[in-house]
A = this chain, B = another copy of it.
Amino acid sequence: MSVTPEQAAEIEALRAETRPTLRATSAGMEAHLYTAYPVLDHGFVRVVDYMGDDAAICQAARVSYGRGTKSVQNDEGLIRYLMRHWHSTPFEMCEIKLHVKLPVFVARQWIRHRTANVNEYSARYSILDREFYIPERDALAAQSVVNNQGRGEALTGEEADRVLRYLRDDAMRAYDHYEEMISSDGQQGLARELARMNLPANIYTQWYWKVDLHNLLHFLRLRADAHAQYEIRVYADEICKVVADWVPFAFRAFEDYRMGGATLSSTALDCVRRMLKGEEVTQETSGMSKGEWREFQAVLG
């Protein structure tokens, strides 16, 4: 379960009451505010606050006055231009604050994105809940044999059974012992900051994470990518849906230029030019290594 009944009630209450503001608002984003979107077995992501919209990007780009009341066609064109030419500062003028519940091993990848603000639930101060990520059976990927960092097919049969049993049993036992160690029932009780070291990396934590749109899109480019680990990609995918409603022009440009685009090296561009002139180019004549050639072929589809 992602949220408790109390939390669900609180979210409902927050969504029930609007107040007037003079600030720019994004109707698409207001529809998402506070709602907890489930991710994995116990996680969620929800927007807690935001600043700005597509018009704010244009406004900063123009260092103009007002909320950016230029025609839609112009705004989208400008945003596409900014994205295409890596003019990143106007995208920094939008900000989002998320509340995320996620397994610790996902949090450790996530935190590597340094240009963001974070407040995490403190296991020095508080007691962690008994909630662990246990993958779905079809997410039990085998180690890839072609790629050190990747995943192969899903495990099946007894091997899958055994993995799930280990993950569940070890988590439960570790948590039992965590509880016993911090218990002051007839004893002193180990400090929480020490007892937590017994807990495995699939335990859930949560944090507030605030980031500007430019850095968020960079995060999404890396983490919503097919090469990202599945368990962080599902968070990125959920965030993509929200961003698409928040800043639709910026998100469409992002999809076209970043997610769906590709960077070709000088050598690769040269190959494309030769091929367009009718030359038959092979890996041997391309000037690329086998790895690069394989990636190049994939880009050309």
Chain A residues with CB under 8 Å of chain B are 7, 10-11, 13-15, 17-25, 30, 33-34, 48-52, 56, 59-61, 63, 65-67, 77, 80-81, 84, 86, 89-90, 92-93, 95, 97, 99, 103-105, 108, 111-112, 114-115, 117-122, 124-125, 133, 135, 140-144, 148-153, 155, 159, 162-163, 166-167, 170-171, 173-174, 177, 180-182, 184, 187-194, 196-202, 206-208, 210, 212, 222, 229, 255-257, 259-269, 272-273, 275-276, 289, 291-292, 295, 299-301
A177 touches B187 (CB 8 A): no
A152 touches B117 (CB 8 A): no
Q: Provided the pairs A61-B119, A93-B210, A208-B60 are in contact, do residues A266 and B273 lie with their beta carbons within 8 angstroms? A: no
Whole-angstrom distance between the Cβ of A158 and the nearest chain B Cβ: 9
Whole-angstrom distance between the Cβ of A274 and the nearest chain B Cβ: 11
Would you call the interface of chain A mostly helix, strand, loop, or mixed?
Answer: mixed
Cβ–Cβ < 8 Å partners of A61 in chain B: 119
Cβ–Cβ < 8 Å partners of A142 in chain B: 188-191
Which single member of B51, B166, B263 contacts A50 (CB below 8 Å)?
B51
Which single member of B112, B119, B193 contacts A149 (CB below 8 Å)?
B193
A103 touches B197 (CB 8 A): yes
A264 touches B264 (CB 8 A): yes
Which single member of B24, B81, B192 contacts A49 (CB below 8 Å)?
B24
Cβ–Cβ < 8 Å partners of A276 in chain B: 275-276, 300
B184 touches A105 (CB 8 A): no
Cβ–Cβ < 8 Å partners of A300 in chain B: 269, 272-273, 276
A65: nearest chain-B partner, CB-CB: B10
In the complex, given contacts A20-B20, A150-B191, what are 12 additional A-B residue pairs having Cβ atoms less than 8 angstroms apart?
A: A18-B20, A50-B51, A60-B119, A63-B120, A90-B119, A95-B95, A114-B115, A143-B188, A151-B193, A174-B200, A261-B266, A273-B300
B117 touches A10 (CB 8 A): no
Nearest first, the 10 A-B pairs at minimum CB distance are A260-B266, A142-B188, A18-B20, A92-B117, A197-B202, A166-B177, A60-B119, A114-B114, A51-B51, A22-B33
Which single member of B11, B149, B192 contacts A125 (CB below 8 Å)?
B149
B207 touches A63 (CB 8 A): yes
Q: Provided the pairs A20-B19, A273-B301 are in contact, do residues A201 and B196 lie with their beta carbons within 8 angstroms? A: yes
B201 touches A188 (CB 8 A): no
